[in-house]
Amino acid sequence: MKKQDINGKWALVTGAGSGMGRTTSLELARAGANLILVDICGEAIGNVAREVEALGAECQTFCVDVTDWDQIRNMADTINARYGAVDILVNNAGIAHMGFTVDTSIAEWEKLWNVNVWSIIYMVKAFAPAMMRRKSGQIINVSSGQAFFAVPTWGPYATTKFAVDGYSEALRYELYWHNIAVSAVYPGIVRTPFYDSIKGGWMVNVGMKLLMATAMKPESMSKLTVKGILKKKRMIIPAIMWPVYLFKPMMPIPFEIAGRVVAWALRKEQKTPV
């Protein structure tokens, strides 16, 4: 597939202050795009803005809570008035959560849903209409490899990523007729601060250390993501997630057994007295 030229185009990235948001912004700048960096932490995006500008790209920053519709709508009005429409919208903002599905509090569910799902809905609602009027644009939604396999104790998080997957699929069909490409990204474990809040018993702690030791670097995942953006791929999947994507539908029993065993072991560990 022929690569598109994004030199001089404006790309907006949410959650741009750290992790994959930062490295994806830098990779887009290296590909020639100008950046609009969005994050709830003004200091963080200020630092990333300096890195982006050092690469020769123009850069704008907006300190915005992406779970607040009014803040997003006001930001979109400013950006659309200035540029007509963004060329590339990367919905990257997201948070992690580890805990048994039934044990997860309503407040935790609401926070996960607001950041991981509602922020994407808000951003698309705010920016897609201008793209549709212009008949061009590209939207990238960051889902997760857990949209392929909901790992025990990650059920609430996986639920939000299944939602992002379905939302992206329907959006892709609908916006195709407006010449707008929609891509979904399915990272596996990526070595970012995203997992810093994950704590648990010895099994969880040892497991996380092993996963972090073998995790993909955010720079590598961002390079893969930008390559997918340039080729307007509908699905951007790292090599480690392809076996899950391909084999789970064909051979569900091994995944079913693995899920049950891991859930049993983690629940038993949780009930073990300290």
Catalytic residues, by residue number, are: 157
Angle between helical axes of 42-54 and 19-30 (0-180°, round to 10): 20
If phi over 0 gives left and psi between -120 and 50 gives alpha, with beta otherwise, what is residue 56? Answer: left
CB proximity list for 29: less than 8 A, separation 6 or greater = 35, 52, 55, 56, 57, 59
Give the DSSP H or E segment for 139.
Answer: strand 137-142
Give the DSSP H or E segment for 11.
Answer: strand 10-14
Distance CA 79, CA 65 (A): 16
Angle between helical axes of 155-176 and 119-134 (0-180°, round to 10): 10
Residues facing residue 90 across a β-bridge: 13, 140
